[in-house]
Structure formats: C-alpha cells, structure tokens
Structure 1
Amino acid sequence: MKKQLFIIPFLALAFLANAQDKTAMKYAATITKEDASTRLNILAADGMEGRETGKAGALRAAEYIKSQFQSFGLKGPVNSSSYFQMLDLKEKSLDKREIVASGKTLEFLKDYYILPGTFNDTKSNYKEFVFVGYGIASEKYDDLTNADLTGKVAIILTGEPMVDGKSLITGTTKMSEWSTSRNKKLAALKAKNPIAIITLSNDMARMQNAKAFFERPSLVLGKETANQNLLNLYFSKEAINNLMSKSDKNIDGLINSIKETSKPATFGFFSDLSVDIKSKMTALEAKNVLGFMEGSDAKLKSEILVVTAHYDHVGVGEDGDVFNGADDDGSGTTGVLEIAEAFSKAKKAGKGPKRSILFMTVVGEEKGLLGSEWYSENPVFPLENTIADLNIDMIGRVGELYKGKQDSANYVYVIGSEKLSSTLKEISEKTNKTYTNMVLDYKYDEPTDPNRFYYRSDHYNFAKHGIPIIFYFNGVHEDYHKKTDEVKKINFPLLTKRAQLVFYTAWDLANRAERPKVDRENDMPSNR
C-alpha cells in the first residue's frame, strides 16, 4: 500500500509532464514581473493624468499601447492599417433648464433634479398626471395594472410599501427587487407609455451637497435618438404637493392611505407643468487600440480569439490629485501587452497560433463599458467568427476577501466561463491544472451576486452577443477607485502568474481543433 501511495503521485506527475506543451511553456516564461513592472510604471504614471476617457492622458496611453503593438509586429486591423478604432463619442452638458409647476418656477437641487445623461432636449407643457404609488405591479401589491398612463405624467414613490417594518411584497423586512432594481420599476412604468415620470426625492438636502456631480457632463455614444430617454424628474415633496394643489390630495396623505389600507392609492388629476431643457454636445476624441495577429492555419485563421482589457481610468480629482489606476485597469492592460508580446515571440519563431488573435485595449469602461460596446456594435471582424473573449480587469492585487488567506498569492476570480458554453470552463480548468495550478474562484458566477460583476466589465458586450467569455479579476480592495491605487501596491509575481494563466488559455483556444461550443442558456438576467 505504501509503495502504491508513492507510485500514484509519481505517475500523475509523469502524465502531467507529458501533457504540457513545452512550446507554450517557453513563451509563457517570457511574461515576467520585470517587464510587467516597466510597462505598468508607464501606464500608471502621473503623466497619464488618470487616463480619463476623452482627456489628454488617455490619448497618451493609447499612443503608448499602439507603440507596443507595433514593436511586437502586430498589425493595425482598422481600415486595413490603423491601430485605432475611433468612437463616435460626445460630451453632453446642460445648456438650459427651466421648470415651472403650477405657476411656480422650481429651483434646481432645492425643488427638483435631473440625473446627468438621462434627459433629451424638450420644451413641453404637461396637463395630465397620475399618482401611481410605488409604481409596482406584483401579485401581492399592484399600483399599475389598472392605471392608464398613456400620454400622461406618472408620479411615483421610491422603494415599496412597508407596514410594521415589513414589505407588503416579501412579507419580511427584506426589500423586493422592486426596490433593489431601479430598472425593473422603470421597465414596468415604460410599458404603460407615460410621457414622463416624476419620482419623489427624500434626499434634496443631500443633493445640494453634490452640485458638482449634477453639473458634470455625461457621455453619449453614437447618435442619440429622440425617444432614447424618457423624461425622468425627481421632485421634492413640496414641489409635488404644489402640483397637486388643485386637488384635495397631498403626498403624506397618500402614503398614509397605502399604509393603512395596504392597497394602492392611485388617482389622476390635472395641473400645469412646463419643462424647458436644452443641452449642448461637444465631440470627444476616444479610441480603442487594436493589435492583430493573423493565424497560421488556412482554415482556422478566419476565426478570431479576442483578448481585452480597458486602459482608461477615472482621471484627476477636484484637488488635482491623479487617480493612477494601477490595478484598475493598468494591471489588465499590462497583462494584455505581456500576452501579446509572448505570442509575437512565438510567431517570429514559426510557432504562431492557428487561429487569429485580436489584442484589444478599450476606452470608456469607467463611463459605462463604452469602448467595448462600440466594438461589439461596429466590429472590425465579424462577431460570428469570434470564438471567445478573454477579458482582464484588475489582476495586480489581493482582493479584500482573500487578505490573510492561505491562497492569497495563488488565486483569481473567474467569471462567466460557463454561462454560454459547456466547454470553455473545461478548457480553462484543464489549462490551469496543467500549467499554473491556481485557485479558480467562481463566487461571482452566482446570478444573485449583489455586486453584479458579470455586468461590470467589457466581456459583457461580447456575452450579450452570444460570444463565450472569461473575466479574470482579483476582487475589489481598499484602494478601488481611490487615488491610492498605485504601482507600489501591485503584487507583480501574482500579476505575472495570472497573465500566464490567460496566455495558456489563449494558447489552447487559438490552437485547438474545435472552437468552444455555444450551447448554454445564460442564467444571468439580460439587463445590466
């Protein structure tokens, strides 16, 4: 028995050694902590000014990435030769806002506010209004089913009805999705075809302290359509009561009625509301950076593996301090450059991949996944030929949940690998077991994950088009989106090992006979 115990591990190691691709190992070894440090120190330097989309620092970062792709011998695939895919991106700011309710001119951030980026230009007068309680349509409580909102302004409360500390919907102290998901309530309201929505805000005092946020321009990708944004205003209690002044109702009375009866208090009324909103658009220069390596196999080279990271970050603070974004996502961009260089060295030695690989660093992730959205809607290569996206976003640190754990220097969160494909996760796990033997943590694959990380990086814009994806992530930490996300805190050996894992996975995907199957019904809700 003891001899067998020694023999079995020996045989396993021998089998593993035979399964390893020595060529892949040779080029994976060119991904080093020294090279990664050099590149990240450039990307996350103060001179890059936080790499904010549309600003000079991001443009400098894009030029640096382009120069790296050129030095590797990668081709610029956009319009036959360019490394830059330009986004149609505009900055939208308010030029005029004037709201008059029942003859009273409302004061911005005292009586009302509008969230940046959620408005179209409008100059309208509204006469018909319907108070629809909490704007909920559920089996246990229903404001909407019998409400006629077509062509009228809907007035709603935030949250959901609570009686004795318990939700009328869940029957417990826990809120339902009608409170936790803003999109759910908006979708239900929009289905009733209102012309506008007014939401009661209980936070006007706090909003007055956030004036800079409300004055901040928003970004518009592509052409903005006239019906893209349903007018959504937030009013104080006093402003809504002013609208209702010709009726015998007021907000406090309506809320109390719902509490006392556990039933909706829907009612319609006539009033006067004048809204005059005008914006101005300013074009921004923003670009994805693409480096292309054509495959060596005459048949398979038409299929494309995409490796992505976002190079943008959040820019410079109001105090002038730079948010360098070393981990987010300087680390991922560094990973893409390291992987691209390793494949380039292999290709120059006659060992290039059979399939083609697109190395792409995208802009605008921090503004709403804009760069990857633009690519997925305007692909340089047909999406049907894209076999998978390996997306790298934050791989240089130990996340807060792994601090002090035994595996803190040998793990990575792997998100989404089995959402669309039954084989991609198998490929990923086999590759890891063969070469890197890291802990692959699937915690954030749960559809109920409150962090919703599956929706929060650029792989999502490939997944929504039915392309299998893997998202590599170290988890958030105390420096996430803070000016303290600096290069000195990066764990370069860990960054390097994670990048090598992505390289090995890419190597397998680019050279295997069959592309990953797309045979799973995604269990993640379709809305972001």
Structure 2
Amino acid sequence: MLAACLPGVRGARPGTTPAITPSDVRSRIYVIADDSMLGRQSGTVGNFKMTEYLGREAARMGLEPAGDRGTYFQVVPMVMRRPDSSSRLIAGTDTLGIFKDFVPFRPTSTARVGTRIDIAGLQAVFGGRAGDTTVVLDKALVAGKLVVLDAPLGSNGQPTATYTTAGGTEAMKYPGAAGIAIASLDLQSSPQSFQRQGSGISESVVSSRGPGGILITTLAARKLMGRDLGGLNPGATGLPVESRIGFVDSAVKAPARNVVAMRRGTDPFLSSEYVAVGAHSDHIGVASGPVEHDSLRAFNRVMRPEGNQTRAATPTAAQWRTILSLRDSLRKIRPPRMDSIFNGADDDGSGSTALLEIAEQFASQPRGRRSILFVWHTGEESGLLGSMYFTGHTTVPRDKIVAQVNMDMVGRGRKEDTPTGGPLNLQAIGMRRLSTELGDVVDSVNGARTVPWEIDLSFDAPGHAQNRYCRSDHQNYARHGIPIVYFSRGYHQDYHVVTDEAEYIDYDALSRVAGFVHDVVAALANRTDRPRVNRPRPNPLSPCRQ
C-alpha cells in the first residue's frame, strides 16, 4: 500500500541495456540521487522509494527473489532514534551540557553499547586509554559506574576521533559498568551530526543492556575526574556522578528493507554455494536547514578536502581569499543555489548503481556454476545495521556464502578528488585478511584486463587511522568468517555533505569499476574451489579491528 501512494516511484526506470556503459550508470544515478529520494535515510519514505526502485529493477531483469517470503525484500527491525535532549550529567557540583560537553553514541555492529546511562552518586573511574586491551580493571571497581577513558590512539600514535572499535572493546571489557565515556568529542570532525535523528536497530535484535556510551570533551573529562587524565593511573577514582542519559525511540516512517536477489547457478554441486556482491542503498537524509551549494563546495575545497571526514577549522586570511575566489568563479557560471538534501550520489549511489549494472549484465549472460547473491543493504550509515541483520538472518545458508564483494563510494577518485586518486586508482581493502586466495583471484582478474587498475592497498594497513576496514558492510560478513574484498575510490570534499551530487560523478570510471567487479564475481562463481579461509577468523561478537 505504501508503495502505491508514493509519488515518483512508478515509472522511474531508466532505459538501460545489459552492457555496462557510462550512459547507463549516469541514467541510474540521476534517479537514485534525485531530490525526490529525500536523502534515502533508512526507515524513511526516501529509502523505501529507493528499495522499491531496486526491487522493480531486479524483477525486470528476471532475477530470482531472495528476500523474505518469496519477495525481493528483507525487513530490518529498526526504529528512529535521537538523543534525549533532556539527558543530564552532573560531576560533583558541575552540570555538563548535552551536545556541548557530552553526546551519547548509538549502538552499532561494532560498538555494541547500551542505550542508557543511569547513575546515582557513584564515583567515576579512570579506565586508561580507550581500546587498550592490556588494561582491565576489576569488575567490582567499575560495577554500576561511569568509566572515563582517554581518546584512543591511531596508527600514527596520535589521539584519533575514531571511537567505535574502542567503544565496543570497552563495553565488552566492562559489561557491568553503567557507562563508558571516551574523551574524543573535541576531535570529531562533525560533532553536530550527533544531534541528528538517525536509525537504530530494534532492541528485539540487539539488547540495550550493558554500558551506554558517550563521547566527552577534554574539559568534561577533567570535571568528571577532578584533574587532567594525563596524570592519572587506571583505576583512579573521580567525582560522584549523577546521570540520566539516553535516547528517544520512535517508529520508522517507512519499513527499512534490505533488497536481495539471486542469479542461480547451474552446477549440480556448486549452485548451492553463493558469491555475494553488495552495496548500500541508504544515505543520511535531509539537513536541518539549507546551505548555499557553491559556497560550501568552495569552502570544503580549501578547508575540508575529505568533506565531513576532515575536522573543521577556521580559515586564515589567505585561505579565505582562495575560498572567495573559487566561489566567485562559480558565480560566473550560475546564480546561488540553496540545498538541504544529502543526495549521496557517490555514497553510495555509485555502489548501488554499479550493483544494478552488474546484475543486469549477469542476467543477460549464461549462468555460472555458483549462484550469485545481490544484496543492497540498508542502514549502513546508521552503523552497518542492515548488513548486521542480514548476516545474522541470512536468506540463504550463511556457511554457503563463499565470498562477499562490497562497493562503497566508487564514483569519484580523480586526482582532484583525493590525493591518492587518478584515472586508474582503485582502493581495495580486506582482500587477503581472511583468504589469500581471494586476493589472488582479484589480482588475476585485474592482470587480465587490457588496462589494469592500479590496486591501492594503503588503506588496508593494520591500524590505519581511518579504520576503513570496519566502516562498510563487508565487515559484517568478515566477522562471520566469510572472505571479503571492499572496493572504493576514496573520500572527497563532498563526503557526507549536501554537495555529493550526480554532476560530479566520473561515469566512465564508474562503468569500468562495475565491469571489473562483474569479472571478479564471475571468476569466483566459476572456479572449482571456494576461496580457502587460511587466515585467523575473528570472534563474531568482538569489535572489528583495522
């Protein structure tokens, strides 16, 4: 019924062909990243419209439904979740302010924290450096208390804003604590994003029990402990804490759905095995207010070259002159244009589009030996929630998934987009972490191309500060021991900004990425043996580690 009432859903199909072409990927992205999709946030009408489009396209191609009850859809139990603005935190006699001194962070597939912190007068306890597994305090010391932690360290030895792995680690160490407080709020590139309503997984899937999580400023940490964290030893006690911190949950505005389709294999033995290939259908919705598109792009070009991945700073006089010069040059082309919708053309309109093109090409070709599973996950932007649900409730036997290939942000990658970019640059993450044979397949397919990609493995380095291995949907397959490879062309100035629009996509390169991924999947589907897991398997309940 909801689909029938949605304007713009019917008849939105572009006239694509089985071949993967720049014109086809362009026509699809202009549908997916249109304002009518309202930023595609999971649990909203915009993402529902997106999944309707994907389901119709899968049916048009003749793909087999592989969702729930003979449909293309798997409903993910989600809620709309926002921080409770009445949350309070008192350290001794100091009242700390929500969104100023602290913010609660939502449970995700890696940071499996609770959703509340309720404390009545117990002293805060210093837990050392967040994520440091060599420090484990006595359970009795932290029971019912707030464990205050210094910011985790990145691979460069410097404090990092990345907190999910550290938060999940501390929650596992101290299940009896009331909460964990990580002093990294000052480091966040976009602290205002914590105020935005987002999606959360229902408590029927992930329990809200266990310590809740908050990020705090350095000043708040000092108030909680009574002195600077640098002068404390783990186990030191601070001031008495009063807290009532939590979230307000409400019903989703539309069902949150993974889209799942299949091209069944032909081999009498191997057709019961699956090569999964995926992307995420969601983005981050609508901003609280409009901004001027070209002014923001000019600012980010100078000050935030990786968009919201880059921490904001105040421009110098010289930087302001450059920003204004860039803005004025754009004014000569067009008048000001206001925007408030995060259209996510690259993140991950590009991956969703590539997956449609790959599926359409497979649907037109003779079937391979193994079956191919096409999954458009929802809820990636909310903490990999759609893929967490899918891998926990697979619609095919999970142990029959031989590999997963993930695409996220594969539509840019020019030199002007990212310092590591270029026409042949393609980032690959995780392809030998569980199975060296999977990495060999990728290299073999690439080596056979007329013009091979320059595979960039730099972001796969253990402990990399950007933590990319843990930040997209492949991670939930890997935690269950399924070999993965994650392809991307990197961050850019429009990452998680309303300026991530279809006009900036490199359509020639995107079609080549899609063609390459098609060939990798075909090679996996047709080889005799599944990629052997010959590296250590992770504990599926442990936080992901880069």
Q: 2:150 aligns with which of 137, 155, 158?
A: 158
Contact map agreement 2:179 2:213 (CA 8 A) in 1: yes
Structure 1 residues 84 and 71, CA gap change in structure 2 (3 angstroms)? same
Contact map agreement 2:104 2:213 (CA 8 A) in 1: no
- In 1, the alpha carbon distance for the partners of 2:185 and 2:130 equals 21
Cα offset, 1:378, TM superposition: 0.5
SS of equivalent to 2:487: strand
Structure 1 residues 522 and 448, CA gap change in structure 2 (3 angstroms)? farther
Cα offset, 1:402, TM superposition: 7.6
Where does residue 438 of structure 1 map in the other structure?
A: 453
Q: 2:226 aligns with which of 251, 257, 269?
A: 251
Contact map agreement 1:149 1:193 (CA 8 A) in 2: no
Q: Deviations over 1:231-254 (max 9, x none)?
A: 65858968986x8xxxxxx824x7
Give the stretch that moved more between structures: 386-395 or 431-440: 431-440
1:369 alignment partner AA: L
Cα offset, 1:190, TM superposition: 6.1
Q: 1:375 aligns with which of 372, 376, 390?
A: 390
Q: Which stretches in structure 2 are left out of the alignment for 5+ residues?
A: 1-16, 108-112, 291-339
Where does residue 273 of structure 1 map in the other structure?
A: 242
- In 2, the alpha carbon distance for the partners of 1:111 and 1:422 equals 46
The yes-or-no answer on 1:126 pairing with 2:120 is: yes
Structure 1 residues 518 and 60, CA gap change in structure 2 (3 angstroms)? same
SS of equivalent to 2:480: coil
Q: How does 1:151-190 map to 2 (within 5 A)?
A: 151-154=143-146, 156=148, 158-159=150-151, 175=157, 183-184=165-166, 187=169
Structure 1 residues 404 and 89, CA gap change in structure 2 (3 angstroms)? closer
Where does residue 73 of structure 1 map in the other structure?
A: 62
SS of equivalent to 1:132: strand
Cα offset, 1:521, TM superposition: 2.5
Q: 1:282 aligns with which of 240, 251, 256?
A: 251
Q: Deviations over 1:122-144 (max 9, x none)?
A: 695634425437468989xx986
Identity of aligned residues (%): 27
Contact map agreement 1:136 1:144 (CA 8 A) in 2: no
RMSD of equivalent CA atoms:
4.1
Q: How does 1:377-526 map to 2 (within 5 A)?
A: 377-399=392-414, 408-436=422-450, 437-521=452-536
Q: Which stretches in structure 1 are left out of the alignment for 5+ residues?
A: 1-27, 161-168, 244-249
- In 1, the alpha carbon distance for the partners of 2:360 and 2:220 equals 62
SS of equivalent to 1:295: coil
Structure 1 residues 95 and 523, CA gap change in structure 2 (3 angstroms)? closer
2:233 alignment partner AA: P
Structure 1 residues 400 and 460, CA gap change in structure 2 (3 angstroms)? farther
Where does residue 294 of structure 2 map in the other structure?
A: none
1:316 alignment partner AA: V
Cα offset, 1:359, TM superposition: 1.0
- In 2, the alpha carbon distance for the partners of 1:371 and 1:186 equals 18
Structure 1 residues 279 and 295, CA gap change in structure 2 (3 angstroms)? same
Where does residue 344 of structure 1 map in the other structure?
A: 363
- In 2, the alpha carbon distance for the partners of 1:381 and 1:332 equals 23
Where does residue 527 of structure 1 map in the other structure?
A: 544
How many residue pairs match? The answer is: 469
Give the stretch that moved more between structures: 74-83 or 293-302: 74-83
The yes-or-no answer on 1:195 pairing with 2:210 is: no
Give the TM-score, by structure 1 length: 0.76
SS of equivalent to 1:425: helix
- In 2, the alpha carbon distance for the partners of 1:251 and 1:181 equals 23
2:361 alignment partner AA: A
Structure 1 residues 494 and 99, CA gap change in structure 2 (3 angstroms)? closer
- In 2, the alpha carbon distance for the partners of 1:102 and 1:450 equals 32
- In 1, the alpha carbon distance for the partners of 2:92 and 2:519 equals 68
Cα offset, 1:108, TM superposition: 3.5
1:214 alignment partner AA: Q
Where does residue 63 of structure 1 map in the other structure?
A: 52
Contact map agreement 2:281 2:352 (CA 8 A) in 1: yes
Q: 1:312 aligns with which of 282, 286, 293?
A: 282
Give the stretch that moved more between structures: 290-299 or 128-137: 128-137
SS of equivalent to 2:282: coil
- In 1, the alpha carbon distance for the partners of 2:475 and 2:77 equals 20
**Higher radius of gyration, 1 or 2:** 1
- In 1, the alpha carbon distance for the partners of 2:220 and 2:388 equals 41
Cα offset, 1:527, TM superposition: 2.4
- In 2, the alpha carbon distance for the partners of 1:154 and 1:481 equals 32
Structure 1 residues 313 and 87, CA gap change in structure 2 (3 angstroms)? same
Q: Deviations over 1:160-197 (max 9, x none)?
A: 9xxxxxxxx99xxx746799767547745863565334
SS of equivalent to 1:451: coil
Contact map agreement 2:279 2:473 (CA 8 A) in 1: yes
SS of equivalent to 1:319: strand
Give the TM-score, by structure 2 length: 0.73
Structure 1 residues 295 and 451, CA gap change in structure 2 (3 angstroms)? same
Cα offset, 1:448, TM superposition: 2.8
1:341 alignment partner AA: E
